[in-house]
Amino acid sequence: AEAEARLLLQEAQESIEAARSYRRELEQRLRGLQQAREQIRESATLTRDVLEQHFNDLKGTLKKLLDERLMSLLQEVDAIEQDSIKPLDECQKLIEHGVSTADDLLRDGESAVHGDVGQRNEKLCSFTKKALHIQLDSLPEVPSLVDVPCLSAQLDDCLLTILKNQIFSHGTVASRPPVQLEEFVEKPGGILVRWCKVDDDFIPQDYRLQYRKSTASHFEDVYVGSETEFIVLHIDPNVDYQFRVCARGDGRQEWSPWSVPQFGCTTLVPHEWTTGLEGYSLSSRRNIALRNDSQSCGVLYSKAPTYFCGQTLTFRQVLSGQLIETVGQPDRRDSLGVCVEQQNGYDSLQRDKAVCISTNGAVFVNGKEMTNQLPAVTSGSTVTFDMEVVQLGPCSNEGGNFKLRVTISSNNREVVFDWVLDQCCGSLYFGCSFSYPGWKVLVF
């Protein structure tokens, strides 16, 4: 009976735990539904605001354009009216002057005809000479009505039809953006953002990626191009950043609606070169090293062992995606690579407990040159290191056989080899050495 009671109690406890788990799952799904509802409502509210603002702007702009066009046409009417009336005013003045002259002449004539008989002949003679001088047969030309302007306005009613068709087809409402964010991959001091097309009928030409800190109010562009992934650098560790992406269709000028914003962050501290080595000048973030003209030489190491197996270590230029922005004179000791520990006193990474590539493309493992060779490192090169653990023997604090499979890529070519060490290495340093000034390297 006790065994049966214990069994029943155990089954009841299991059922209770299952019910709790079921309830937690339901609550999580309710939260998911609430988030979906909030997203629909927030996006609908935002879309309404955007539409109202856009059409209000269109109304204001259209009214302004119509007012400007009306003013232009009215000014054109005023100009034609003034230019056409001016010669008529001049002709009127000329006729009015003739009428006045004719009135004076008539008064003189009547005075001569009805005057004293003794002075009549003299007055008639003077009047006749005056009449001949005035040229009474010369009359000013008055234009006929068909020869003067008759203003009218020509207004094409088809404009309303065109505007109506354009307005009724202007703007669309999309329930889903054609592209969405797909994946965030942590990088040291950065985040690799990937996105994908979710609308099969949409043919993208360019993508536009924006981001902002969670505390910022405005997004800023970080990438515009045809790729579907981008590494966003200068990311502070353990800080949330919000990302969104949109696309521009083939042959179109306008951008699509934004994707659903998503948060991403990195827990990996950024790679930094160590300070204080006389032969190198560093950027403010200490991720760019420039070999200066100092006579001092040696290996410039990372500040800390921040490279972990399973990650990709990349050397490249800040803006153009190149490894080397400017290149100095090459030397056989020049190298880029990773190592187990910092060892001062060396002028190259071509030593024990290190793997590297020289600027002429030679690959060195523990100081020994391999037969396989990569292209030379020049302006425009990109070099990456990838490693995965292949353990040979027991690993403990006292050490043991330890093997890393290393892939070094440069200019679309790669070499793969095994790097055998006598101790476990959870993290590695990186470094570079250049004998002559002019070499400039970004690491991330």
Residues 199 and 225 in one domain: yes
Quick check: 133 pLDDT over 60?
Answer: yes
Asked if residue 258 belongs to a domain, the reply is yes
pLDDT band (50, 70, 90) for residue 74: very high
Residues 160 and 201 in one domain: no
Residues 351 and 382 in one domain: yes
Residues 256 and 339 in one domain: no
pLDDT band (50, 70, 90) for residue 325: very low
Least confident interval from 1-10, 103-112, 228-237, 285-294 = 103-112
CA angle 217, 238, 212 (to 5 degrees): 20
In the numeric block, the tokens 């600027």 are attached to 359
Can you tell me the mean pLDDT for 157-180? 87
Indicate the number of domains in the chain: 3
Between residues 344 and 223, the one the model is more confident about: 223
Structure confidence at residue 392 (pLDDT) = 59
Can you tell me the mean pLDDT for 360-387? 87
CA–CA gap between residue 25 and residue 22 (Å, rounded)? 5
Domain boundary among 266, 292, 314: 266
pLDDT single digits (tens) 142-160? 888 888 888 898 888 888 8
Q: Which domain holds residue 330?
A: 280-443
We report the CATH number of the domain holding residue 337 as: 2.60.120.920
Structure confidence at residue 33 (pLDDT) = 93
Quick check: 67 pLDDT over 70?
Answer: yes
Quick check: 109 pLDDT over 60?
Answer: yes
Structure confidence at residue 201 (pLDDT) = 84
Residues 117 and 242 in one domain: no
Cα within 13 Å of Cα(142), Cβ side: 8
- In this prediction the pTM is 0.60
Quick check: 318 pLDDT over 50?
Answer: no
Structure confidence at residue 149 (pLDDT) = 86
Residues 318 and 408 in one domain: yes
pLDDT band (50, 70, 90) for residue 117: low
Label each residue of 254-318 as H, E or C: CCCCCCCCEEECCCCCCCCECCCCCCEEECCCCCEEEECCCCCCCCEEECCCCEECCCEEEEECC
Residues 311 and 392 in one domain: yes
Asked if residue 57 belongs to a domain, the reply is yes
Quick check: 139 pLDDT over 80?
Answer: no
Asked if residue 174 belongs to a domain, the reply is no
Asked if residue 424 belongs to a domain, the reply is yes
CA–CA gap between residue 236 and residue 302 (Å, rounded)? 18
Structure confidence at residue 264 (pLDDT) = 93
Residues 189 and 163 in one domain: no
pLDDT single digits (tens) 402-420? 888 999 998 889 999 988 8
Least confident interval from 15-24, 110-119, 233-242, 319-328 = 319-328
Quick check: 399 pLDDT over 50?
Answer: no
Can you tell me the mean pLDDT for 244-256? 88
Least confident interval from 23-37, 270-284, 380-394 = 380-394
Residues 126 and 226 in one domain: no
We report the CATH number of the domain holding residue 245 as: 2.60.40.10
Query: What percent of the chain stands above pLDDT 90?
Result: 36
Can you tell me the mean pLDDT for 321-347? 75
Structure confidence at residue 118 (pLDDT) = 63
Quick check: 182 pLDDT over 80?
Answer: yes
Domain boundary among 241, 266, 291: 266
Nearest to 401 by CA among 415, 431, 421, 384: 421
Quick check: 400 pLDDT over 60?
Answer: no
